Amino acid sequence: MPESHRCHRRRCGPSSTRVAGQASLRHRELMQLRVFDDSEALASGAATLWLDRLVARPDLVIAAPAGRTPRPTYRHLQDEAQRRGLSFARTRVFAVDELVAPAPADGYFWRHVREAFLAWAGIPASNLHPFDPRAADLDAMCRDYEEQIEAAGGLDLVLLGLGPNGHLASNEPGSPFDSRTRSVRLLPETVAYIRTDDDADPRVSDTAVTLGLGTLTEAREVVVLVSGSSKRDILRRTLTGPVTPDCPASLLQTLPGARVLADRAAAGAL
């Protein structure tokens, strides 16, 4: 499918940017924006990127997202993996975030990942690392999760969606850029957004556990998928606005090699 490929540095102006209260950073020119004609081309492009990384490293360590934007990517991933004869048997899978009680005990978001990806991927249970939303001590569980990631050798690839208010994973506006995996309180607008998903479960919690922004920045590659005209304003703010915790996704401007894959409806004139 046709696509256009543009590096975001063309819209950045100077190659340095300033994080509020921090020294100037000079990685902004390294972030890439790829614009696809439509949501299906975006999903196909994301699946191809994932599979290329799998070929390079069969024991890929990935944090796999739930949500409406990644859903078509999993469909293309299955079709393309079958066409190319690729196996996920050595892949290690971590979660991006998860809702806690009263959300389903087996994982509100993990259920989506399981249905869209794990159900057909043939990954051994020993290679799956969901959050435990039933843990009596969420803080201890989150510390252990960081240790599991470290034991796996770190995250090779993190796939994320872009929240309407600029959140990444469940890191809401105001989240510290150096935050680690932890429990968080979701803003009312985020809870309302989750409930607009066609596959939403009525048991939505306003408390979640999430990979921290600091955790995400340590991944070898971060890829954010953005689809639809409703994301146009927040995508522009993410890519061209100030780097500030008020827009957590603006942190992408400081990450070497970060990739934003967007359809034309979301990218607009970027």
Contact criterion met (CB below 8 Å) for 227 and 263: yes
Locate the DSSP E strands across 69-149.
92-95, 97-99, 128-129
Alpha carbon distance 87, 165 (integer Å): 36
Among 144, 165, 206, 218, the one annotated catalytic: 165
From the list 76, 97, 171, 263, the catalytic residue is 97
Q: Identify the burial level of 132 via C-beta atoms within 10 angstroms of its C-beta, where 0-12 means exposed, 13-18 middle and 19 or more buried.
A: middle
Residue 197, φ and ψ in degrees, nearest 5: -65, 135
The pair phi, psi for residue 64, each rounded to 5°, is -105, 130
167 catalytically annotated: yes
Contact 239, 269 (CB under 8 A): no
Q: Can 172 be counted among the known catalytic residues?
A: yes
Q: Hey, which residues are catalytic here?
A: 97, 165, 167, 172
